[in-house]
Amino acid sequence: MQSLKTLTILFRALKSVEQQIREDIRRYGLNTTEFGVLEVLYHKGPLTIQEVKEKVLIAASSMSYVIDTLVKKAYVKRVKHSYDKRSYVLELTPEGQSKMDGIYPMHVASMRKRLDVLGNDEAVLQKLLKQLGTYQKKDL
């Protein structure tokens, strides 16, 4: 292949999924980035801001902003890192925890409906997207 059709399709798929998530999650007073951060902490437990940033792939300055928002909403708190004084560890507050406990099952249900159209190919899609995502751009 030589065209970039694949990228076009990738963009459209994501935008479409993102729109569903946005609408899905809006009534809980969260946007997709906020939800993304909460989701990481929900699944991985407390993590450094830097580590969260590597998971959600947004600019450092955007991280600061999202975290401030989540702190204001009392879903998350910054805890000084034990030995690296540059860092903060992010963790869910009890409110954040129970917020996610309340939201997450519905979110999974709604999203699974869409993902289920893939059937057994879901694992294949995962594999291919991982290949795409982990490409090292050393040779650009």
Partner DNA sequence: TGATTATATTTCGAATTCGAAATATAATCA
Q: DSSP letter string over 23-73? A: HHHHTTT--HHHHHHHHHHHHH-SEEHHHHHHHHT--HHHHHHHHHHHHHT
Closer residue to DNA in complex, CB, 1/57: 57
Residue 27: name its binding partner from DNA, a second copy, none (Cβ under 5 to 8 Å by kind): none
**Nearest CB to a second copy, comparing residues 85 and 139:** 139
Reduce the DSSP state of residue 16 to 3 states and report it. helix
Q: Which does 62 bind (CB under 5 to 8 A by kind): a second copy, DNA, none?
A: DNA
CB of 35 to a second copy, least distance (A): 11
Contact in structure between 37 and 43 (CB atoms under 8 Å): no
Q: Are 109 and 20 in contact (CB under 8 A)?
A: no
Interaction between residue 77 and DNA (CB under 7 A): no
Residues that bind DNA (CB under 7 A): 22, 31-34, 48-50, 53, 58-69, 78, 81, 83-88
